[in-house]
Copies of this chain bind each other. A is one copy, B any other.
Amino acid sequence: MQDKPVTQNDVGVAFSRHDHAHCADATLARAEAAALTRGARLTPVRRRALEILLEEHRALGAYEVLDRLAADGFGKQPPVAYRALEFLVENGLAHRVRRLNAFTACMHPGETHMPVFLICRVCHAVAEASATPVRAALDRAAAELGFTVERTNVEALGLCPACHDLACTGVST
């Protein structure tokens, strides 16, 4: 909860006080590097879509992204946003949060990982949590049934530390 500098790959950065301008810039830089590595073309719309997602640690609906893209002179029609977002997701630069029908920037692009999302139902912050143990447990459960896991969605809804504290201390309104 203190504003110590947060390292780039810190999980749960969404719930920490931090210099978000730096956080977003750094993540964008890493995304660009990751895209280069994969030979994925981060064109202007795509890049701008990612920047938009990076503006906040929450998930944005496709139409919300679309509006901002349109405001920046890109196309105004749904496919414009959906295509850019699909590209970002396919290339591991963003994730889809199914619970919210929305998208969020990946906070550690380049690293292969199974995203685990913690979604605050009050402030709508979205954090990517440490996934490895969850993935392992899931793989074991699947293996017991002979099921081969290819992709996963793991999402938890609840309270982030800040909103939890607020709920406990003063429930005035």
Binding site for B on A (CB under 8 A): 11-12, 15, 98-99, 116, 118, 120-121, 127, 129-131, 133-134, 136-138, 140-142, 144-161, 164
CB distance from A127 to the nearest CB of B (A): 6
Bound Cα distance from A154 to B158, whole angstroms: 14
What are 26 A-B pairs with beta-carbon distances under 8 A?
Answer: A12-B144, A15-B145, A98-B98, A99-B153, A116-B138, A116-B141, A118-B149, A129-B138, A129-B144, A129-B145, A130-B141, A131-B141, A137-B137, A138-B156, A147-B156, A147-B164, A148-B158, A149-B158, A150-B156, A150-B158, A150-B159, A151-B156, A152-B154, A153-B153, A153-B157, A154-B155
Chain B: CB-nearest residue to A120: B147
Bound Cα distance from A15 to B144, whole angstroms: 11
- CB <8 Å contact, A155 and B158: no
**B residues near A127, Cβ cutoff 8 Å:** 145, 147
- CB <8 Å contact, B146 and A157: no
